[in-house]
Amino acid sequence: MRLRVADKESVPKRAVIVAFAAFGANDTDTSGDSTDDGYYVAIDPDDNVYYPVICTYTDRQVSKLFVVSDPVAGVSVLQSADVELSVGVWWARVM
């Protein structure tokens, strides 16, 4: 699903609100910076977990952020010809 940002007065009625949570970046060095490669996931009200994926385009349009339930299969779907017209993905990567 495509991720969008809106204020509470502009959220579409059928939208699903998600919250981002950080995982794996618990260790910090003396400067307070993380010393490992943590990651973020999006969690919906039903406790479903989604992985953020950035899609960039060859025609210089702005990158779009999607969330997928499976980081491997979800990227494959976003890159597939089946959704090319609706997503227009040229390249995607899990963030």
* Residue 10 tokens, joined: 């502009």
Q: What value, to the nearest 5°, has the Cα angle with vertex 52 and ends 15 and 12?
A: 10
**pLDDT over threshold 60, residue 53:** yes
**pLDDT over threshold 60, residue 35:** no
pLDDT in tens, 40-49: 899 999 999 9
Question: Is the separation of the CB atoms in 68 and 59 below 8 Å?
Answer: no
pTM: 0.70
